[in-house]
Amino acid sequence: QVQLVQSGAEVKKPGASVKVSCEASGYTFTSFYMHWVRQAPGQGPEWMAIINPSDGSTTYAQKFQGRVTMTRDTSTSTVYMELRSLRSEDTAVYYCARDRGRGQLDYWGQGTLVTVSS
């Protein structure tokens, strides 16, 4: 069965960086795009980025351009999301989600809480 397993919760200070991982299993990793979506407390989901695991090409939301990097490791079927220059407004649950086509996100990771606090 398809599973996306994310790394554990993080607490960071303002200005620091965080790198969250998402390990995929149960399907051909390079056949499906992967998204990162975050959700601040009490807010709706916010789309951040997408990666094509086959060639590593990425697209980022303009809001995060220059601060976010999405990478993948095909040998371990893992995608990574690094967010730099963290501020308190980045406190959120970060999700990876598989795109089965046409932007339909059919499998999601369990979420990783990133807390930014001094």
Partner 1 sequence: DIQMTQSPSSLSVSIGDRVTITCRASQSISSYLNWYQQKPGKAPKLLIYDASSLQSGVPSRVSGSGSGTDFTLTITNLQPEDFATYYCQQSYSTPPNTFGQGTKLEIK
Choice from 14, 15, 56, 103 touching partner 1 (CB under 8 A): 103
- CB atoms inside a 10 Å sphere around CB 8: 8
Both tokens assigned to 118: 């001094």
The answer to whether 83 contacts partner 1 (rule: CB under 8 A) is no
- Stretch of residues binding partner 1 (CB under 8 A), selected from 15-23, 66-74, 76-84, 97-105: 97-105
Binding of partner 1 by 94 (CB under 8 A): no
Q: Which of 7, 10, 47, 115 binds partner 1 (CB under 8 A)?
A: 47
Q: CA separation (Å) from 60 to 2, 8, 12, 114?
A: 25, 23, 22, 19
From candidates 41, 44, 89, 118, binder to partner 1 by CB under 8 A: 44
From 70, 64, 60, select the one nearest 86 (Cα to Cα).
Answer: 64
